[in-house]
Structure 1
Amino acid sequence: MNPDTYATLYGPTRPTPSRRGAGVAAAAALLWSVALFLLWGLGFLALWAEADRGPTEGFPPHWVPICLGIAAVPIGLLCTPAVRRLSVPGRLLVTGLAVCSIAVGLVVRAA
């Protein structure tokens, strides 16, 4: 069949989107949602405990290194050449695994 005939009859060819990586993206979304939920819960409990001690003047300054460390881990991972060669769902999975392990570690330490 002539390629022009196909284009005339059916219009331009539209490649089907690849479903490759859907499972990796779902696992990454699950890890990130668990990690963000745990970090949110820890932040809420820490603020509640800080408010229970008495009047506060805003964000406690000793939390700054903890928050910077939590944010630095996925950023540092994304800068490594091995992670930069991965696909986007793979990058999300690796960084989600790192952040989720940090969140679980903080929850275990706080308990």
Structure 2
Amino acid sequence: MNTFKPVFTAIALAVVSASVAPSARAGDTLLMQRVKQEQSMNLPKKGMSMAEVERRFGAPTSKLDARGGGSRKQPVINRWMYPGYIVYFERSHVIHTVLNTPAGNNTNPANPK
């Protein structure tokens, strides 16, 4: 019986895991910084209605086309763009507010790559 192959596989997995871990920690740090930044800002909160958002934060710079709505399990998702963030609504209530990132990965959701 060849015991070399299982030992080699375990060593290879340990090397790969060790090389991936530092970048995961850096990503976790960036995510935590972004969450803290979002929490300290005055942004639309989960559960607010569209009318409340517009009353408190003004009219959005644009209202993107609605998505979904094909079934009860896929409700209509509306997206409103404001300078610096995007508000996501399920039907007519906020489910999430996302800051536009410097990397630009969510600055133009109307035109995904």
TM-score (norm 2): 0.38
Tell me which protein shows more helix as a share of its residues. 1
Larger Rg over CA atoms: 1
Higher strand share: 2
TM-score by length of 1: 0.38
